[in-house]
Amino acid sequence: MWWKIAVVSCLLIGASQITETAENDSKVVCYYDSRAFVREGLGKVTLADIEPGLGQCTHLVIGFASINEQKRVVSLNPLRDLDHGNRLYREATFLRSKFPKLKVLLGIGYDVSGDPEKWLQMLETSTARIAFINSAYDLIKTYAFDGIDLAFEFPKIKVKKQRGSVGSFFYSIKKAVGAAGKPVDAKFEEHREEFTSLIRELKNSFRHDGYLLSFTLNPNVNSSLYLDVPQIINNIDWVNIAAFDVQTPLRNKEEADYAAPLYKPSERNPELNIDFQVTDLLARGVPTSKIVVGIPTFARAWKIEDGATSTGVPPLKADGPTDEGIESKQEGLFSYKEVCGMLTNPQNKDLKGERGPVRKVGDPSKRFTPYGFRLPDKDGKFGLWMAYEDPDSAGNKAAYVRGKNLGGVSIMDLTYDDFRGTCTGDKFPILKSAKYRLM
């Protein structure tokens, strides 16, 4: 019998090692938007501010660079980022001296240019692609980055009116026969081939130095138009799904709705949720280990007036974005810390007007996210509706990632998490919850 016990012991040890390896292989990709460095007041977030959270991260992406008219990769703020200024790039890669296992990447793209046409033009000639590749290589070599995260600016799908199931069925037929409107990119087939060439050429230029190349799929981009998965996947270290902002008050001013649902809410576009995107990429041949799911740390918020209900159940009529947050400095966007302060609490429960409490509606189904709302007053003012992520919903998404054996999660980004611990005294609650549920 001793040999049976030994075999069982070996199997248990092996299983333990496999589990530990799987946990260690799970990525926690943390983003730092360097625009936070120049925000004023409480909105200013430095690398020193996020440093206490970096022990939870496997990778840090410093964002975001873009391309100029010559199609070269450039810093959007040289005085902030480069050596002749505040040396943010240099300080970011120096963080590896404190966190030796941390990989630091340069983020390129992610909706900072607002001009997808410029990016598509870069694809269309080998000269422009070479300029992009050489300038990207020069930046990561000069500042000792471990690679790049490329959030290529493909055109986004058009905003569509929410339809019931019957309307959705007939719309899908119209779409199939080409009667539902012009495509966002008439040359998408050419651009798909050119993007494949760009990825291959980028990876070839990085291979000698062992630089990483990840690709971020931006929100509201139809990846089936542009990603030839069999041709590119071996040249990409992982695909990061920016799985949020499917609805925003800037994208759709008239309708407030979930911004980052895990599954499809009733009678919505079936493609605008995390589960669809993950399932689609898996079906097209992306390995489970190469799919990373993005988790936001912020709320998207709309003004609401007439038509709001006492439950706040979305979608509901809206009137554009709320005023900018004190910390976020962006219309229709609040950091998680700001959200915490707005939800009903002993300090605000008796306040009125724009400082009145926002009622939280949780997500017991674990399919969407929580939301909060404040009904308009008798004059139709101060109404607000927001979709947001909290530690529980972030943990649910990490549990989904673990259940499907995906490659990990990304936290987008650290500057909007509660890095000061203002809400409950716990710093980086969204990051920590996601990391814990991933284990």
The owner of tokens 């554009």 is: 320
Mean of all residue pLDDT scores within the chain? 89
Does residue 360 lie within any of the structural domains?
Answer: no
| pLDDT tens-digit map of 317-354 | 999 999 998 888 899 999 999 999 999 999 998 999 88
| pLDDT tens-digit map of 344-385 | 999 998 999 889 999 999 999 999 999 999 999 888 899 999
Question: Do 318 and 303 touch, CB atoms closer than 8 A?
Answer: yes
Q: Of 414, 431, 410, 22, nearest to 238 (Cα)?
A: 410
Question: Do 67 and 132 touch, CB atoms closer than 8 A?
Answer: yes
d(CA 302, CA 23): 38
Alpha helices in 143-235 (DSSP H): 165-176, 188-207, 223-226, 229-232
Does residue 160 lie within any of the structural domains?
Answer: yes
Parallel, antiparallel, or unpaired for β 333-335 and 298-303?
Answer: antiparallel
Average pLDDT over residues 64-93: 96
If 0-12 CB within 10 Å is exposed, 13-18 middle and 19+ buried, where does residue 231 land? Answer: middle
Does residue 307 lie within any of the structural domains?
Answer: no
| pLDDT tens-digit map of 201-236 | 999 999 999 999 999 999 999 999 999 999 999 999
At residue 290 the predicted structure's pLDDT band, cuts being 50, 70 and 90, is very high
Does residue 133 lie within any of the structural domains?
Answer: yes
139: left (phi over 0), alpha (psi -120 to 50) or beta: alpha
Question: Do 431 and 56 touch, CB atoms closer than 8 A?
Answer: yes
d(CA 356, CA 353): 5
**DSSP result, 348-410:** TTT--GGGS-BEEE--TTSSS--EEEE---TTS-S-EEEEE--HHHHHHHHHHHHHTT-SEEE
Does residue 325 lie within any of the structural domains?
Answer: no
Domain harbouring 277, CATH code? 3.20.20.80
At residue 309 the predicted structure's pLDDT band, cuts being 50, 70 and 90, is low
Does residue 354 lie within any of the structural domains?
Answer: no
Parallel, antiparallel, or unpaired for β 103-109 and 73-74?
Answer: unpaired
80: left (phi over 0), alpha (psi -120 to 50) or beta: alpha
SS3 (DSSP) at 330: coil
SS3 (DSSP) at 30: strand
* Beta partners for residue 292, in sequence order: 240, 408
- What is the gyration radius of the CA atoms in the chain, in angstroms? 22
In the chain, the number of structural domains is 1
pLDDT at 182: 63
| pLDDT tens-digit map of 121-174 | 999 999 999 999 999 999 999 999 999 999 999 999 988 755 443 334 434 434
Does residue 196 lie within any of the structural domains?
Answer: yes
Task: Mention every residue, 6+ apart, whose C-beta is less than 8 A from residue 1.
Answer: none
Does residue 353 lie within any of the structural domains?
Answer: no
The domain in which residue 126 lies consists of: 25-296+389-438
